[in-house]
């Protein structure tokens, strides 16, 4: 499959407020424009997930990070530089994203990705991409495309036709970093 065609197809759906099923640098994800509150609501509904349980967003670099966070602790960049596997950072005081993806404590989980499809899609969107595992809330996280439930596949507006045979590693490491430099490992 042509990655550029898939980026184009996914971008068209996202531009129109749709949600997509797509491969990430870890597991298959359900995503949308992270600044579109109605699209985010569609994902919560599909996952049957309470809106109080926040989702993470993917970003494609430091420019996007600084658009969402006025302040990024130096520790965040150090962790990203030394991480050998995908790492999600939970940071304080996000802005320029939908209110319904921000956690009650005013934090947001973010992961900077280099995976080509995600990277190119965000380059085209010029916005972060919501990423949540492709499952109904409380069910197991699918390790490959064939493990995703038909309910999820039917519930999205577009299914990206890339990496369907890939078996995913574990989800990302999650580290919470506050502006006062407190570090807490949530998931290794």
Looking up residue 100, the CATH number of its domain turns out to be 3.90.870.10
Taking 90 as the threshold, does the pLDDT of residue 157 lie above it?
yes
Q: Structurally, how many domains does the chain consist of?
A: 1
Alpha carbons 88 and 97: distance in angstroms, whole number = 17
Domain that holds residue 109: 3-187
pLDDT (mean) for 9-37: 96
CB hemisphere CA count around 29 (13 angstroms) = 21
Side by side, which strands form the sheet with 56-59? 158-159, 20-23, 28-31, 129-133, 56-59, 107-112, 87-92, 173-177, 183-187
Query: In this predicted structure, which of 1-5, 21-25, 65-69, 128-132 has the lowest mean pLDDT?
Result: 1-5
Residues near 83 by beta carbon (within 8 Å), at least 6 away in sequence: 173
pLDDT (mean) for 124-147: 93
List the one residue out of 105, 130, 127 whose CA is nearest residue 52. Answer: 105
Alpha carbons 55 and 103: distance in angstroms, whole number = 8
pLDDT (mean) for 11-28: 95
């Amino acid at each position: 499959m042509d990655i550029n065609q898939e980026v184009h197809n996914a971008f068209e759906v996202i531009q129109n407020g749709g949600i997509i099923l797509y491969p990430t640098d870890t597991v298959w994800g359900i995503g949308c424009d992270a600044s579109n509150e109605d699209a985010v609501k569609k994902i919560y509904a599909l996952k049957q997930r309470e809106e109080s349980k926040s989702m993470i967003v993917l970003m494609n670099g430091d420019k996007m990070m600084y658009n969402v966070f006025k302040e990024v602790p130096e520790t965040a960049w150090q962790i990203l530089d030394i991480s050998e596997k995908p790492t999600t950072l939970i940071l304080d005081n996000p802005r320029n994203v939908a209110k319904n993806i921000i956690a009650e404590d005013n934090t947001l989980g973010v992961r900077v990705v280099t995976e080509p499809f995600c990277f190119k899609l965000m380059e085209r969107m010029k916005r972060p991409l919501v990423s949540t595992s492709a499952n109904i809330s409380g069910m197991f996280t699918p390790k490959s495309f064939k493990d995703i439930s038909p309910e999820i596949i039917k519930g999205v507006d577009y299914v990206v036709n890339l990496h369907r045979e890939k078996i995913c590693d574990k989800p990302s490491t999650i580290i919470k970093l506050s502006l006062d430099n407190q570090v807490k490992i949530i998931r290794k």
